[in-house]
Amino acid sequence: MLTRTITGVFFILLIVAGIYFNPTIALLLFTLITLLAIDEFYSLTKKSKNLKPLRFLGTLTAVSLMLILGLIIQNNIDVKMVFIPILLMFFTFIFEIYRKNDSPFINIAYTLLGIFYIVIPFAMLLHLGYYSQTNFSENYSYQLILGFFILLWTNDTGAYLSGKYFGKHKLFERISPKKTWEGSIGGGILTIILAYVLSIYFTNLTLTNWIVIGVLIAVFGDLGDLVESMLKRSLGVKDSGKLLPGHGGILDRFDGLLLSVPFVYSYLQMIK
């Protein structure tokens, strides 16, 4: 428990510091997380005898795509540069011709899935740092990204504690035997309460919008956890990795984020 707590505190401090100081550090932090997460994803898939994704090409594509999207968001490079990682994606088809594997398109699918599953949410999250009620601006603000993380962590913690002390009814036993309805509801209630508190201090969004974001994170954060559990179960592994002592791997820590960010981002786009 002590190891888990120490790792958790260090992890939170790293995230908060990374997004607080300036957008360049935030971009480098998210790129590093992308690198670790995509490498972990391909390590997971290789545990299956039938899967052989193009690990190096996929990792190179993911990291370059994250960096280039981030620099485009910050108006530091021309949007045309995005064609570099796009072309790298198409090289997966060419490389697979020469590998002589039994299931080439499955390998291609998993290679591209890792890129899509990990890079797009983190690029969207970085873009939230430039959000305003009327449009996306050139001025970076940490508030919305930090608020997102606070609500996500609150949902995870609330679900864990509610499930531990009150959990009786299984949420989705086939995929995640430990998750309960009580845990999910408890996490959601706590997240909505904290969304109200955030609206007082982070005034870049209205109370209604913070509440909606809280609901989206509570719902899709839990579903993101289930999606990652489904991936691990299909590959026959318990944890995505061992990088974070007491917490498992990088994907175990960001599973809720990977599914909830697209819904939060889409909502904020629609209300502009």
Model confidence band, residue 78 (pLDDT cutoffs 50, 70, 90): very high
Q: Are 145 and 131 in contact (CB under 8 A)?
A: no
pLDDT number for residue 150: 97
pLDDT number for residue 100: 85
pLDDT number for residue 195: 98
d(CA 241, CA 139): 36
| 161 contact partners, CB below 8 Å, separation of at least 6 | 186
More confident site: 94 or 174: 94
Query: What is the average pLDDT value for the chain, to the nearest integer?
Result: 91
pLDDT number for residue 172: 84
Q: Is the pLDDT of residue 71 over 80?
A: yes
d(CA 212, CA 195): 9
Q: Any idea which residue has 């620099």 for tokens?
A: 71
Q: Is the pLDDT of residue 193 over 90?
A: yes
The whole model's pTM is what?
A: 0.92
Give buried/exposed letters for 229-241 (b at 16+ CB in 10 A, else e): bebbeeeeeeebb
Per-residue pLDDT reduced to its tens digit, 244-261: 665 678 998 999 999 999
pLDDT number for residue 91: 96
pLDDT number for residue 70: 96
